[in-house]
Amino acid sequence: MRRLPEFEERSLPPRPKPPVRRPAARPVTVAQPEPPVSRSSMRLAERPRRRRTPWQWYAMPLALIATVLVIVGLDRFPNDAGRLASSAESRAQVGQGGVGQGAPPVVNPPSPAPVAMPKANPELPDGDPIPISGSGQFQIVPGTSPKAGSGRVYRYTVEIESGAAISEKDATEFGASVQDTLSSPRSWIGGGLFSVQRVASGYSDFQVTLVSQGTADQVCGGGSIKYPVSCYLGQNRVYINAARWVRGAGAFKGDLNAYRQYAINHEVGHRFGNNHQICAGPGRPAPVMMQQTLSVSNDELADVTGNIGQGLVVPHNGAVCTANSWPYP
């Protein structure tokens, strides 16, 4: 008998050798060698046997090892397969007209440098020193004017608070500004109902007075408004707050002369019986009786005043006007 290959001897038990009978009258014959057999061929003896080529003996174990490695890898790293699939799907979507088709890379712009926020309109702007306190006593600034306008004549004096650190030059400039403003046809005389005349002595229908910030706070404050303001209290005296006279208001964007004209017309307007008004529509000139010292925005004005003691309800309607100094612009 021919011996099986060595690895077959380790994997299969030795096959028993059949006895050889030699007939007495016949010559001895040697059996032909049998091809190697496998376990499957032993179990299925009825199947025809097929000889395997040498490369098949090496390919089968390698294929088995590769299959085991793939199964073990998927079992140990199940998420990798999902990530690979998602990545492939994303690439497919980009190729169908997404960002990846020739789009430039997204570059985030550098963060802007911090910018100081502007003050809210009601706040007093920065500027020159202001008279903080005075004596509470008033003195007339010399000066007179001819009558301006038609209709009933209203005589007025221009005065300053004593001891309020208001120079003679500043007092003279204040008097000239009041006179020029009230004598303008854009002021209250433009309605044709009355005329005005500045006097320095004798009877006057009202007094326009420049007072220190402390006095203005005492006379005009005490309500819901916590910002420097001017006022008219119904005693024929107009109080112009020196803090606002020197620095103006945010709504006028630094135009101090325009603000001064507004302050005079607004407070004297109360003397003539006019009440507060609101912005009538976005972008329109603010009524001179709107509280432009605080804001030209209805929303902001409603928030600042709280609609307390103002004689009207300011709506939150988003309307923002432009600053205006005159009753008849």
What is residue 224's predicted lDDT score, i.e. its pLDDT?
67
Residue 77 has pLDDT above 90, yes or no: no
What is residue 43's predicted lDDT score, i.e. its pLDDT?
45
Nearest to 139 by CA among 167, 164, 115, 161: 161
pLDDT band at 307 (very low <50, low <70, confident <90, very high): confident
pLDDT tens, 208-246?
Answer: 999 999 999 999 986 668 899 999 988 999 999 999 999
Contacts of 162 (CB under 8 A, 6+ apart): 134, 135, 137, 138, 139
Residue 280 has pLDDT above 50, yes or no: yes
| CB atoms near residue 24 (< 10 Å) | 4
What is residue 181's predicted lDDT score, i.e. its pLDDT?
99
CB 135 within 8 A of CB 161: yes
Length of the chain: 329
Residue 60 has pLDDT above 80, yes or no: no
Domains of the chain: 138-274 (3.40.390)
| CB atoms near residue 102 (< 10 Å) | 5
Residue 292 has pLDDT above 70, yes or no: yes
Sign of CA dihedral 197, 200, 205, 207: positive
Helix or strand run (H / E) with residue 238: strand 237-241
Mean pLDDT of 59-76: 53
Average pLDDT of the chain? 78
